[in-house]
Structure 1
Amino acid sequence: MGKKTNKQAVGDVVRIPLAEGRHGYALALVPPLFAFFDCLGGDELAPADVISRPVLFRLWVMDSAVTSGRWPIVGRVEPPPALLAAATFFKQNALNKRKLTIYVGGKESPATREQCVGLERAAVWDPAHVEDRLTDHHAGRPNKWVESLRLEDSLEE
């Protein structure tokens, strides 16, 4: 682990340690949101090179990822406007799986299943789970954390 640091600011680029000495990168957006990029390697990338890569996903992440030093800040860039737009997530009622909402910019509205397909579930991710997800993505295998948060089928009629 790195040294303890302050909370990330919008535009901070963080390096994420992964297996075998490799690492990925993310861009801090409006806390606790990060954008994760499709890059994996052992060599350091300049922050401008990081944000030129395709975005894999955007997730809320626990502050401890950065404040603990686990994900060191390696630079700062001006975030692309598209990434500053509010992220859209879905929520699914634990007791009534048919009750769905879409969460955008702090506001929730009722949603259909079709509107929720392809969205991330509203959840704050543990840094270790994000690291697992990035490792699994680059290995081409399913991720147990993604599967556990997948939109569930309604068994009710």
Structure 2
Amino acid sequence: MAKSGKIKYKPGDIVTIPLPEARFAYARIFEDHTFGIFAHWSAKPEPLAQVATHPIAFFVSGTDSAIKDGTWLVVGHVPFQDAEASFPPPVAICYDYDSNTWTMGRPMVTHKGTEKFVTAKEVAGLDRLLFCHKPALVAATIVDRLIDGNHAYYKVRPSGSSSSAAAAPALAPQVMQVAPNPSTTGPWGARAQENDDASDWLAGLEEEPGLGLGRIDEAFDQVLSAEPSAYLEVTECAEVVAAATVLAKMHGLAFAADIASDECMAALAKRAKRRSPKSTAALVQRALLALAAVQDPERSELRGLMVTQEHADLGAAWSKRMGQLVRGLKAAHRRLASA
């Protein structure tokens, strides 16, 4: 749900992260949506002076929505010595943990927005890039590593290792492995359906296509009913893009052809025939307004995750896709308005 207003923060800030079972962890904010997790947890919140005496145990990449809505409290600031120190260490990308292979053919890392190939020796022991797209997943990862001591799953396995992979934690299917660009395999992508939240929304649409137009309108409403300055979380943003893309397919836009099955689209078309051109034009206009909010760099968590220095190619592809979607829906709106 959209929150009213948002809290600003900067690298070097220290935040308190509530964990299950009335426990608290602490993190220092680094660049690139990364949290340095202190090697310490407590049964009640502790002051900065006590927290900052502990070293950083590991890093977690994830959403900052819980900071912006005030769930994770900023309790102080410890400045970095220089800009270089504000970046987390290199992490492995394009790596399949289960098979212990590299999807680009050889080891690859990302650091400070730059991706490069490295040797097996250089990547040995590094964490792999996993992105927690919900605050609860950040907390679950912290529990798994900090409290339960399960680190193996999050790291690159030894080169040539024939040993069994470490058991994946229960949260694993919900944590995204971020690919460096849209051409590589991975749950992030420029298309609307290449996102877990959007995929879930589309699956619901396929199950009950007769309710589709209502679901589309609800997706737009959760953004449009929020206050103008409200922070929009990744789930609601992803659902807006998915709903708008379905609407685009209903109006014959070719790039949206694979967003939903023919059976689902037929059911939607049947429902749409009951609406007047004026009513449909109003729905398209709502889609355009919601998409404008999703592309707002000050409000949209989805845009903040997609358009980053670290994944410039993915951000460019996503922005291009959004531009196509907006232009196509504007053309559809003009046709409907003149009907």
TM-score range, shorter chain: 0.7 to 0.9
Greater RCO between the two (CA within 8 Å, min separation 6)?
A: 1
1:45 aligns with 2:81: no
Name the CA distance, whole Å, in 2 between partners of 1:78 and 1:48. Answer: 14
- Judge conservation of contact 2:94–2:104 (CA < 8 Å) in 1: yes
- Judge conservation of contact 1:25–1:36 (CA < 8 Å) in 2: yes
Aligned twin of 1:134 = 142
Name the CA distance, whole Å, in 2 between partners of 1:4 and 1:136. Answer: 32
Q: Which protein is bigger by CA-based radius of gyration?
A: 2
Shift of 1:80: 5.6
1:62 aligns with 2:70: no
Aligned pair count reads 151
* Superposed CA offset, 1:95-149 (max 9, x none): 7364321211111111123322221222332322221122223443537xx72x5
1:91 aligns with 2:93: yes
Aligned twin of 1:11 = 12
Identify the structure with the greater strand proportion. Answer: 1
* Superposed CA offset, 1:79-98 (max 9, x none): 46685255211112567364
- Judge conservation of contact 1:90–1:101 (CA < 8 Å) in 2: yes
1:101 aligns with 2:108: yes
- Judge conservation of contact 2:95–2:128 (CA < 8 Å) in 1: no
Name the CA distance, whole Å, in 1 between partners of 2:52 and 2:37. Answer: 9
Aligned twin of 2:306 = none
Aligned twin of 1:120 = 127
Aligned twin of 2:27 = 26
Name the CA distance, whole Å, in 2 between partners of 1:86 and 1:35. Answer: 8
Identify the structure with the greater helix proportion. Answer: 2
**Which SS does the other structure have where 1:20 is aligned?**
coil
1:151 aligns with 2:156: yes
Shift of 1:25: 0.4
- Judge conservation of contact 1:32–1:63 (CA < 8 Å) in 2: yes
Name the CA distance, whole Å, in 1 between partners of 2:7 and 2:62. Answer: 15
**Which SS does the other structure have where 1:39 is aligned?**
strand
Distance 1:83 1:41, change over 3 A: farther
Name the CA distance, whole Å, in 1 between partners of 2:24 and 2:103. Answer: 40
- Judge conservation of contact 2:33–2:63 (CA < 8 Å) in 1: yes
Amino acid at match of 2:36: A
Amino acid at match of 2:92: F
C-alpha RMSD of matched pairs (Å): 3.0
Shift of 1:36: 0.6
* TM-score, with length taken from structure 2: 0.39
- Judge conservation of contact 2:34–2:88 (CA < 8 Å) in 1: no
Structure 2 unaligned segments of length 5 or more: list them.
97-101, 162-339
Aligned twin of 1:111 = 118
Structure 1 unaligned segments of length 5 or more: list them.
none
Range that drifts further, 48-57 or 15-24: 48-57
- Percent identity among equivalent residues? 23
- Judge conservation of contact 1:23–1:41 (CA < 8 Å) in 2: yes
Amino acid at match of 1:103: T
- Judge conservation of contact 1:13–1:27 (CA < 8 Å) in 2: yes
Shift of 1:7: 3.8
Distance 1:100 1:133, change over 3 A: same
Amino acid at match of 1:73: V
Name the CA distance, whole Å, in 1 between partners of 2:44 and 2:95. Answer: 43
